Chain A
C-alpha cells in the first residue's frame, strides 16, 4: 500500500501520522516543541490544570494550534465523575479544535492501571455528551469490545505501565484486541525505545501514543526522530506482510547450476 493512502481514521477525523505524542516531562518547552515537530505527530496530548499565576512561561505559547490537534487527557482522575468533569471543563477552553478526548480513569497509584468499571462509566457519559472518546485501557480484548460497543471510535490499550519503558508485555493480547474490534487500536503507554514502537506497529495496530520514551530520553529530539522512523518502518513492514518464522534454514541462493 502506498504511504499516502494509508490514513488513520478516528471517528470523523483523518490523520497521516500514526505517532501521537505527549507533552509531559520534557526538560523544557522548547525541547518539547522541536521534538513534536520532528516526530511528525498531528495529535499531541495535554492535561487540564489550575493556572499557575507565577509561571514565567506557558505551554500554549510553544504549540502551533493550526498545526496540531490538542488532545485533553484526564490524567490523575480516579473516578468517572472526576474524569467527566475535567473534560467538561476542558470543553470551555477554545484551544481544542475537535471533540477528541483521551479518557483515562486510574485505578491504582503504583501501576497507574486503569479502573475498568469507572472507565466504562465515564466513556458512556462522554459519548452521550458528544465527545470522540479515546480510552486508555488495559490490554483486555473483552473490555475493548465493550468500549467499541458503547461508541468509542478507537481503543487505546497499554503496552506496559505508563512511563515504565518495559515495551510490549503481552503482544498476543494486543493482537487479539486488534482482531476483536473493528475500530482502530492505538497502543498507549509503555514503549521504551524505537524497537518497541516498531514491533508494536508490526503487530498491525493503527498507531502509538508515546510520551516518556521521548521526553525522558537523554536527547528527546533525536529520540522523537527515531520513534517517527520506527512507527513508519513497523507500519510499512506490517503492510508488506512478513515471512513466516521457520525452525530451519531455507537457502536464499538457488542450487541449480552450481559448479563445485
Chain B
C-alpha cells in the first residue's frame, strides 16, 4: 500500500505497517525522530501499536540547523 512520507509517495507492505516498523525499516534513531500522522502528533509510546493506513500522510522530523 502507499503512504505519503515527508511529502513523497512511499510503498509499504500491503497489510499495513506500524510506525515502529517503519522507523526500523528506515534505520532511523528513534530518540531523534518525532512523528505526525495526518498532522496529528503521535506519542512515542504508541509507535509500536499505531498502524498506518493507505494514503496516510506521515511527517517524520528531527533537528536541523537553525537560529
B14 to chain A, nearest CB (A): 22
**Selected A-B contacts with CB under 8 Å, 9 pairs:** A48-B34, A48-B63, A51-B33, A75-B67, A85-B39, A89-B36, A90-B34, A90-B61, A95-B31
Q: Are A92 and B67 in contact (CB under 8 A)?
A: no
Q: Which parts of A57-99 form the interface with B (CB within 8 Å)?
A: 58-60, 70, 72-73, 75, 85, 88-95
A22 at the interface (CB under 8 A from B): yes
A24-32, A137-145, A248-256: which one contacts chain B?
Answer: A24-32
Number of B interface residues at 8 Å Cβ cutoff, please give it. 26
Instruction: Give CA–CA (A189, B30) in the complex, Å.
Output: 33
Q: Are B64 and A47 in contact (CB under 8 A)?
A: yes
- Residue numbers of B with Cβ under 8 A of A are 6-7, 26, 28-36, 39, 41-44, 59-67
Q: Are B32 and A60 in contact (CB under 8 A)?
A: yes
Residues of chain A contacted by B29 (CB below 8 angstroms): 60
A162 at the interface (CB under 8 A from B): yes
Residues of chain A contacted by B7 (CB below 8 angstroms): 50
Residues of chain A contacted by B63 (CB below 8 angstroms): 46-49, 59-60, 70, 72, 93, 95
A45 at the interface (CB under 8 A from B): yes
A211 at the interface (CB under 8 A from B): yes
